[in-house]
Amino acid sequence: MNPITLISLLLCAFCTSLASAQDFPTVTVKRVPISGIGMQEGVCRRDPSDIIRVDDRYYIWYSKGPIKSGYNATVWYATSPDGIDWTEQGQAIGKGEAGAWDYGSVFTPGVLIAEDRYWLFYTGTSHPFQQGMPDSKIGLAVADSPDGPWRKLGNNPILRNSDNKDDFDSLLIDDSCAMIRNGKIFLYYKGRQFGKSPHETKMGLAVARSPQGPYQKHESNPVIQGNHAILNWPQGKGVAAMIGVTGPEDLKNSVQHSEDGVHFAKTHNVIDGPRAAGSYRLDAFTGSQKAERISWGIEIGKHQGNQLPYLERFELQWPDNEH
């Protein structure tokens, strides 16, 4: 091929890609420091759940431990009157007994309100960090109050990594994000295949008729071909997802929307999006067909060097002409 022709084709492809990206409205993010669960010497707080409001208090759950990774942690929670000033209330879910599937660590919680009770999904591993494969699975605990006490279900784990090494979630599953859509529990999660890197993590969906399960993995899994951390919410009649820096180039740094919660398409670009975040989702458990999009949440702060992860607030700036 003539070099000039080749250069022209490459420039055309680049311009087309750039124009395509610019065709979508852009969401920007503002960071706000918080008190009570922010930066603290010697303490790691990370992987926050979505946020709920009960009476006049916001609740959030998160992984807390002594190392950067979530693989040596337990699940703690905090409350706040305004989403900025938080009070840490204590441990919500501890590790299992020796030999249990969740003996090594419990972390990355996700919250659900259903059947007049509160449900906490959490990831568990059977052995300590850096001792073999991260055999993570997803368990569930239930309480009559968001303050607990929490009781782990007897049929845990409610979702397991696949036994088929060719499946996208054969190595590990993690990062639960639950909501009610069309009278069913939609449980989004991330999965990784044997032999794949963290940059090849993808998003799956499991569906159940009741919080206890059984949960059936969707036949279309993975429903999104990327995303290292799950940030999903009901929007309109469907489901929206905010994608970070993991996945194909046309997927990264975007908002995706799906009318059926399975087949997603891009709606927005995102600049410097939330990191491993949870959001305040007003309509997550109402089943509303006019669900509102999210405006704020809690994420992992941008820690440096040997600094341990901490939590901070993010606020989304949607385009001015959108409501």
DSSP class per residue in 233-296: EEEBTEEEEEE-S-S-TTTSSEEEEESSSSS-EEEEEESS--SS-EEB-TTTTT--TTBPPP-E
Cis peptide before 66 (omega within 30 of 0): no
Query: Is 323 within the bounds of a domain?
Result: no
Q: Which amino acid is at 102?
A: D
Query: Is 109 within the bounds of a domain?
Result: yes
Q: Which residue's entry shows tokens 């929670």?
A: 77
Q: Dihedrals φ, ψ of 204, to 5°?
A: -115, 175
- Joined together, the tokens standing for residue 120 give 């906490």
pLDDT of residue 5: 47
Q: Are 111 and 61 a contacting pair, CB within 8 Å?
A: yes
Query: Is 188 within the bounds of a domain?
Result: yes
If one counts the domains in the chain, the total is 1
Q: Dihedrals φ, ψ of 33, to 5°?
A: -65, 150
Round to whole Å and give the CA distance between 161 and 296: 31
- CATH code for the domain in which residue 275 is found: 2.115.10.20
The boundaries of the domain holding residue 97 are 27-317
Environment class of residue 81 by beta-carbon count within 10 Å: exposed (0-12), middle (13-18) or buried (19+)? exposed
- DSSP state for residue 199 in the 8-state scheme: G
pTM score: 0.91
State the sign of the Cα–Cα–Cα–Cα dihedral 264, 269, 274, 280.
Answer: negative
Query: Is 4 within the bounds of a domain?
Result: no
Host H or E run for residue 5 = helix 3-22
Query: Is 75 within the bounds of a domain?
Result: yes
Query: Is 226 within the bounds of a domain?
Result: yes
Distances (CA, A) of 211 to 102, 112, 116, 121, 156: 20, 8, 11, 10, 12
β-pairing, 26-32 with 265-270? parallel
Query: Is 16 within the bounds of a domain?
Result: no
Minimal CA–CA distance to 243: which of 220, 261, 266, 222?
Answer: 266
Q: Dihedrals φ, ψ of 316, to 5°?
A: -90, 135
Distances (CA, A) of 52 to 11, 134, 275, 299: 48, 29, 19, 15
Query: Is 204 within the bounds of a domain?
Result: yes
Backbone φ/ψ region at 211: left (φ over 0), alpha (ψ -120 to 50), beta: alpha
Round to whole Å and give the CA distance between 296 and 112: 18
Distances (CA, A) of 188 to 89, 179, 303: 27, 9, 27
pLDDT of residue 132: 60
Q: Please give the chain's pLDDT, 323 residues, in tens.
A: 554 544 444 444 444 444 445 689 999 999 999 999 999 999 999 999 999 999 999 999 999 999 888 789 999 999 999 999 999 999 999 999 999 999 999 999 999 999 999 999 999 999 876 666 678 999 999 999 999 999 999 999 999 999 999 999 999 999 999 999 999 999 999 999 999 998 999 999 999 999 999 999 999 999 999 998 999 999 999 999 999 999 999 999 999 999 999 999 999 999 999 999 999 999 999 999 999 999 999 999 988 778 899 999 999 999 976 65
Q: Dihedrals φ, ψ of 15, to 5°?
A: -65, -40
Q: Cα 141 from chain centroid?
A: 18
Average pLDDT of the chain?
92
Q: Is residue 21 classed as helix, strand or coil in its secondary structure?
A: helix
Q: Is residue 53 classed as helix, strand or coil in its secondary structure?
A: strand
- Joined together, the tokens standing for residue 207 give 């569906």
pLDDT of residue 6: 44
